[in-house]
Structure 1
């Protein structure tokens, strides 16, 4: 079901899921040179992977990590020229790649297998993929209106724009299963309030009255709080950018979208006011099951037990704890407790991860821990502020499981 390959400059996973081949790839330039030279090296590497796997032209969602905001326009032009009419939904994330390159690329492809796959592209902000009576909308690079200031208002503006992008393609905002919130200067203050706390305040206000994935959680009481899996992470500058994956499954009553909480962590939406006056509204993960298969979208995860940071100042211990938290989150024991027996996963069932490191000096330490625990898994390492000053590492990813 899951095959992983690592070679010079690229790591990728191939997942045969729902009779469809999924290819998850990470590429970094193998040499130096200009942004254009490095970008073409990484993009051609990913292109070669898809040609080899028989999924050419199938990239639907892409994140490009770059060190400064000034490089975004040039990077976008390079990528648009490279893909032409086959633009993926692409986010330009201003987080310096840890290895010192001018960019790193993470790409998700959905290619033809035994089942029929239809890909509809709407520029580099939205791509719809339809297969097996499931319609996925990948949405990227959503920013607030230029005339809006302040994190709270910018978040409301960007989420409103995202809702509009989804609505234009016939999908409600309540169908969002995975979100990314990239916020510049995330731990800095704005008007005496931390910027991340303002994002949480806006997220709480915007989500009010939204019943996420209603009817898709077998066994959950109607009063249960349901939110998408999400990452809230820093980036360079002071901007805000959102991305998401939404899923329409009206003709598939057998599909279950189950939010997962970690048995060793307090639910983020139950955090006390000392962490944020309005708690972060996200699930620790979202498990999407269909028959014998499950895809688990793992939210940004850090070295937290209960609601407290553990191992402050120790990047190695924080990385180990973060992986322990992910291991518990996706475990068979936890999936069974959430009503999905037989669909638990292990760390070896991860298909790809991103590792956000606060300090460049901790990169090699975090990388060594991840390689020791995860082997040749495709990984992106980028420099980014985590939402608490005492957190040094955050990890997100995707895991896949099959009922035995």
Structure 2
């Protein structure tokens, strides 16, 4: 087991496209593919400018496994990944609730083992995300289990990190997490109710994430923006209109950048390092791509097929940008 990192390293992100291998030393690679590799995003690419990405670290990396989590660690930074098959049994919704309790508990223990005090970013892919009714919907049960894990380990997330949760093309739950030794400065969006303050209408336990976060990845400052949809206040907007939803979601991305004091009028969304669009219906990919490329020209764009956590939402964006 590696000792706690003592010297931060430079961390950077790269987009890749095409069939070439991404095998640089000191890199953590993610392909957008519905395969069994736990380090990959279990979604189908609908096009765009990249279908592979990597975090590159100027430090020696070590790999390990514990309690279902696989990880790569080095330079004050770790990338951890896990996949479990919970059976998608909507008649036993407590299974996904228990899976959330177990996986988050194991993640917090991994943090302590590595000496990294903060979960800095999380991605979740939960198959059949809106199956079930009322409080037994799979997403709501997952949120309940995650909340129970946070209650049991209040120091596991001293600050809620940015996060994304969409559906998956592999059965079960897959999670990726960035872990670091510096805190997250959480960013909220004045156009939206904070997710953790949603009313009871959305389940017994509200989602647990920040709209964005300023974080140190190694010694590199970043703004990481959570999955962001067409929600104003806490209500979905523009039901049935994918173009209007895409524009509203990008307005929310802009609002997070402004709240983080990262907005530049002359650059706007073009200052982003990348955009990922999660699209419910593949036939809408061209519409979403045109809007994204108009509003964020020359920003690398990934178009991914993923039903979202509310049935009426048609598109969601996540984004990031280095701050130095």
After TM superposition, give the deviation of residue 321 of structure 1 in Å.
Answer: 1.1
**Contact 1:349-1:400 within 8 A present in 2 as well:** no
Kindly report which structure 2 residues correspond to 1:99-110, keeping only aligned pairs within 5 A, or say none.
99=47, 104-110=51-57
**Contact 1:25-1:108 within 8 A present in 2 as well:** no
**Contact 2:11-2:220 within 8 A present in 1 as well:** no
User: 1:144 & 1:400 partners in 2: Cα distance?
Assistant: 35
2:121 is the counterpart of 1:153? no
Q: Residue 129 of structure 1 aligns with which residue? A: 74
Q: Residue 210 of structure 1 aligns with which residue? A: 154
Q: Could you report, residue by residue, the CA deviation over 1:202-225 in whole angstroms, capped at 9, with x for unpaired residues?
A: 1111111524665xxxxxxxxxxx
Q: Which runs of 5+ in 2 are unaligned?
A: 1-7
User: 1:136 & 1:190 partners in 2: Cα distance?
Assistant: 39
Kindly report which structure 2 residues correspond to 1:90-239, keeping only aligned pairs within 5 A, or say none.
91-99=39-47, 104-111=51-58, 117-122=59-64, 125-130=70-75, 135-143=76-84, 150-172=95-117, 175-189=118-132, 193-208=136-151, 209-211=153-155, 214=158, 226-239=159-172
If the length of structure 1 is used for normalisation, what is the TM-score? 0.68
Q: Which runs of 5+ in 1 are unaligned?
A: 1-17, 30-40, 48-55, 77-89, 112-116, 215-225, 250-255, 337-342
Kindly report which structure 2 residues correspond to 1:32-111, keeping only aligned pairs within 5 A, or say none.
41-43=19-21, 46-47=22-23, 56-60=24-28, 62-67=29-34, 71-72=35-36, 76=37, 91-99=39-47, 104-111=51-58
The change in CA–CA distance for 1:165 and 1:213 in structure 2 (over 3 A counts) is closer
Which one of 213, 224, 228 corresponds to residue 301 of structure 1?
228
**Contact 2:167-2:306 within 8 A present in 1 as well:** yes
Q: Could you report, residue by residue, the CA deviation over 1:320-362 in whole angstroms, capped at 9, with x for unpaired residues?
A: 111111111011xx235xxxxxx55642221122211000110
User: 2:260 & 2:319 partners in 1: Cα distance?
Assistant: 17
Q: Which has the higher contact order (CA 8 A, sep 6+)?
A: 2
User: 2:194 & 2:13 partners in 1: Cα distance?
Assistant: 31
Q: Secondary structure at the match of 2:273?
A: strand
**Contact 1:297-1:398 within 8 A present in 2 as well:** yes
Which one of 240, 247, 256 corresponds to residue 173 of structure 2?
240
After TM superposition, give the deviation of residue 276 of structure 1 in Å.
Answer: 1.9
Q: Secondary structure at the match of 2:54?
A: strand
Q: Residue 296 of structure 2 aligns with which residue? A: 374
The change in CA–CA distance for 1:145 and 1:165 in structure 2 (over 3 A counts) is farther
**Contact 2:165-2:227 within 8 A present in 1 as well:** yes
Q: Secondary structure at the match of 1:398?
A: strand
**Contact 1:142-1:243 within 8 A present in 2 as well:** no
User: 2:15 & 2:186 partners in 1: Cα distance?
Assistant: 26
After TM superposition, give the deviation of residue 110 of structure 1 in Å.
Answer: 2.5
**Contact 2:86-2:95 within 8 A present in 1 as well:** no
2:186 is the counterpart of 1:259? yes
Count of matched residue positions in the alignment of Structure 1 and Structure 2: 303
Q: Could you report, residue by residue, the CA deviation over 1:7-48 in whole angstroms, capped at 9, with x for unpaired residues?
A: xxxxxxxxxxx9836242132x3xxxxxxxxxxx242xx45x
2:218 is the counterpart of 1:277? no
Q: Which has the larger radius of gyration?
A: 1
